[in-house]
Structure formats: C-alpha cells, structure tokens
C-alpha cells in the first residue's frame, strides 16, 4: 500500500538495536544487497526485496538516497506468480497422461505425482509474469520506530524477516501487549502487574 494514497493502513514497529558505523551507508548497503530481483522468465513463484519508494519498478539505490527529512523512506516489493489452480490442474492432467503413455505404466506413486506437479508449476512459472505488490515503509531511526503501510500478515512477516537480514536489527510489532510493555512508560512494578492481569468482565 502506498503512503500517498487517499486511504492507508499502518502497522507500527519498534526497532530494537542500533547500527554500528555509518548510518546512511549501512542502510543503503542493506537495501542494495537485498533489493528485489526480477523473477519473470524464471522458475520461481515468489520474491521479496526492497525497492525505491519513488521508482518501485526500477529500483535504484546506487544514485538516489532514501532519506527524507529525519526519515528513511523505501518500499518492500513482493512479486508473486498467481497461477490459477484450474490451469495447474489442466497441465498436470495433460503431463500425467503423457508420461503414463510414455512409460506404459498404469499409475504413478504419490511421490512421482508430486514431482510431476512441481515440474508443471515450474514450467508455468516461466511463462507467467509475477504480480508486484508494493508496501511503503517509513523508518524513523532516531525514534526507533517504523511504520509499515500494510496490515497483511504475510507482508508483515516478509518485512520482519528481510529487515533483520538486511540491517541486523529486530522489528518488534506493536500490539496490545508490546505497546503496554515497551511504549507506555510503565514502571517495573506496573510491568509485573501487567503480566498477571486477566480479562475484565464488564457485566456480571
């Protein structure tokens, strides 16, 4: 989801850890090393990587910086080939029939069927272009906070994995418990109480 859209969704994170050495250089290196790679014409179903916020289809971390004001602004791109199950079924059935005829056998084992399906999916992956999804990111390094412009579970999980791999820092998703524990300024005593509380019954 794009941050300049008329309607956005935001998942908030706390960034744990600090970068050693040159901040901008380390971030740009992490983005370059893990930028999105094209998977069209390749037998790959999915790819996730960083891309430029202002040029997501032609990422360029070599010449353009991602710093805007006090923030780093870039995007996560997830390319996925969505092959309809009916197309897979069609080509799987054709391939099965062909191989049975060639081998003179009456049936294949479960393992062989699975290999044929994998072959069919790989072959189809070569001819189907990947659908790109772009999710923007605003990273306030000094404030140790990051906004991810999507609430989708799978996209959030891809972000968390790639971020850790790229920068060696951990993203902690802010939800009721982590917000209470990390972002509410509570004392140790209050934190102990937090760990023991149970749901309130508002009506008897």
Partner 1 sequence: MLDVSIAYNRYKFLGHEFLTWLWFIMEVDPACILKAESDMVSLEVDNRIVLENSFDNRIENIRIKGDEAGFEEAKLSLQKGGVVTELNFSLKIGDHEWKFNIKGESLNISSLKSPETGKLQKKEDIEGAVLEKIYLYEKVVVLVENLYKQFIRIRVSGKWKNETIPLIKKWIKS
Give the binding site for partner 1 (CB under 8 A): 3-4, 6-12, 53-54, 68-69, 71, 73, 138, 147, 151, 172-181, 183-186, 190, 193-195, 197, 199-203
Nearest CB to partner 1, comparing residues 13 and 92? 13
Nearest CB to partner 1, comparing residues 39 and 134? 134
**Cβ contacts of residue 163 below 8 Å, gap of 6+?**
146, 169, 171
Cα four-point dihedral sign 171, 173, 177, 182: positive
Nearest CB to partner 1, comparing residues 124 and 138? 138
Q: Whole-number minimum distance, CB 189 to partner 1, in Å?
A: 9
Q: Whole-number minimum distance, CB 200 to partner 1, in Å?
A: 6
Nearest CB to partner 1, comparing residues 53 and 167? 53
Residue 167 CB neighbours (<10 A): 19
- Are 171 and 164 in contact, with CB atoms under 8 Å apart? yes
Identify which of 42, 58, 124, 54 has the alpha carbon closest to the alpha carbon of residue 89: 124
Nearest CB to partner 1, comparing residues 21 and 185? 185
Q: How far apart are CA 159 and CA 78, in angstroms?
A: 10
Q: Whole-number minimum distance, CB 7 to partner 1, in Å?
A: 5
Nearest CB to partner 1, comparing residues 2 and 105? 2
Calculate ∠ Cα 103-104-105, nearest 5°: 90
Q: Whole-number minimum distance, CB 202 to partner 1, in Å?
A: 6
Q: Whole-number minimum distance, CB 135 to partner 1, in Å?
A: 14
Q: Whole-number minimum distance, CB 182 to partner 1, in Å?
A: 8
- Are 92 and 118 in contact, with CB atoms under 8 Å apart? no
**Cβ contacts of residue 37 below 8 Å, gap of 6+?**
47, 49
For 78, 144, 193, 204, the CA distances from 164, given in Å and listed in that order, are 17, 14, 31, 46
């Amino acid at each position: 989801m794009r941050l300049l859209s008329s309607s956005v969704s935001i998942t908030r994170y706390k960034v744990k850890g600090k970068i050693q050495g040159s901040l901008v250089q380390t971030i740009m290196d992490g983005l370059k090393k893990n930028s999105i790679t094209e998977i069209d014409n390749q037998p790959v179903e999915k790819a996730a990587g960083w891309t430029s916020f202002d040029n997501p289809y032609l990422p360029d971390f070599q010449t353009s910086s991602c710093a805007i004001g006090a923030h780093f602004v870039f995007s996560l791109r997830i390319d996925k080939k969505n092959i309809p199950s009916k197309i897979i079924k069609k080509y799987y059935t054709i391939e099965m029939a062909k191989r049975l005829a060639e081998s003179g056998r009456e049936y294949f084992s479960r393992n062989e069927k699975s290999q044929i399906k994998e072959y069919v999916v790989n072959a189809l992956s070569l001819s189907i272009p990947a659908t790109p999804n772009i999710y923007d990111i605003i990273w306030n390094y000094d404030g140790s906070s990051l906004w991810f412009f999507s609430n989708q579970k799978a996209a959030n999980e891809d972000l968390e994995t790639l971020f850790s791999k790229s920068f060696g820092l951990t993203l902690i998703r802010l939800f009721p418990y982590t917000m209470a524990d990390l972002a509410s300024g509570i004392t140790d005593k209050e934190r102990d109480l937090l760990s023991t509380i149970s749901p309130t019954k508002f009506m008897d």
